[in-house]
Structure 1
């Protein structure tokens, strides 16, 4: 199940990175850089957080190859991914958010880390790659925007971290829930409470 989530999240985030690169009119190298950063950046941050060697990422040769092929295909045939009808590739980003947040929580849980580590791993795995992507693209990171974004990663962090839902179908259900909630937060413009700066 971990490998399945890893593959789905990697491909979804790679396509999200490509969408941003195409919108910014980057060349082919820029497309690859943003795609790889988005797909693997969150995993690198997670590994640093829970004590895994960062170089473990280089053992994922199949994922690197798959991401490379997908990014090349999208670059050559960009119109085939424009059916999402959602701005800034939020459809693929939502899939990546759901799968990687669940994967991060599951990773920390199986290593015997406490609930707090599972929540942090879910948040950083789900948003780390997208955060680095947006910074490199000169954009305001998605998780800092008004629509609810990083808060949805708390759900898999708690549910998986407490061991409530860890079977394959239960994990897929959590992924679907996070993806749906993220898309709804964009479509219906849900936002968390905020305060305006006080005048002195």
Structure 2
């Protein structure tokens, strides 16, 4: 049940995130749907490739595809004044998607018996993969490649699950809230990772 709930939360959050970015970039309706779907399912597809799950497994998620399409349709039909308010919540939607999918990916790899390193990689790829594809298709620099703290929280989720710190349903939900909260705090207070610039002469 936890797996299904996290999958639905992540799908809705990233589908909305992709659709909002597409509308900000003034894509047409087809572009909005494509970017929303790619954002929602891109991370899972990349994860499946690396941990040995057939990519075709994505097509078994008919309900999630329907949820994603309904979410994109809803945000596309929002009145303009409501959409302007919704844009303020774009980062929050992205934070929810990151947290839900990072935990979901880690659970997936852990249940397949993969080692800690693979669990962390699965968490990171599932959590950030869709966002990277979204930003690249929108012509933006991916969030994860900036100094802004983003992928670190997916790593944290992978560690917690890989080390069996979060196992039961309630522990996973607590982890979801913690990771989401940390991501919100990181962009609210502009927490940054160290960077090193190479001077150009």
2:182 pairs with 1:174: no
What is aligned with 1:83? Answer: 85
* 1:121 and 2:122 correspond: yes
Quote how far apart the aligned CAs of 1:81 are: 4.9
- Over the aligned positions, Cα root-mean-square deviation in angstroms equals 1.5
Q: TM-score, normalised by structure 2?
A: 0.94
Secondary structure at the aligned position of 1:95 is classed as helix
Tell me how far apart the structure 1 counterparts of residues 85 and 93 of structure 2 sit (CA, whole Å): 11
Distance 1:196 1:66 in 2: 43
1:19-38 to 2 correspondences below 5 Å: 19-38=20-39
Q: What secondary structure is seen at the aligned counterpart in 2 of 1:35?
A: helix
| CA–CA separation in structure 2 for the residues paired with 1:85 and 1:51 | 37
1:98 offset after TM fit, Å? 0.3
Give the match for residue 165 of structure 2: 164
Deviation at 1:127, TM superposition (A): 0.3
TM-score (norm 1): 0.95
1:110 corresponds in structure 2 to 111
Q: Deviations for 1:79-124, whole angstroms, at most 9, x for unmatched residues? A: 445435637x211110000000001111111111000000000000
Instruction: Please list the CA deviations of residues 117-155 of structure 1 after superposition, one character each: whole Å capped at 9, or x if unmatched.
Output: 000000000000010011011000011122100111111
Larger CA deviation: 48-57 vs 172-181:
172-181
What displacement does 1:178 show?
1.1
Kindly tell me the number of residue pairs found equivalent between the two proteins: 199
1:1-200 mapped onto 2 (5 Å cutoff): 1-77=2-78, 79-84=81-86, 86=88, 89-198=90-199
Secondary structure at the counterpart of residue 183 of structure 1: helix
CA contact (8 A) 1:84 1:91 kept: no
8 Å Cα contact 2:46-2:126 kept in structure 1: yes
**Unpaired stretches in structure 2, ≥5 consecutive residues:** none
Distance 1:169 1:81, change over 3 A: farther
After superposing on structure 2, the runs of 4+ consecutive aligned residues of structure 1 that deviate more than 4 Å are: none
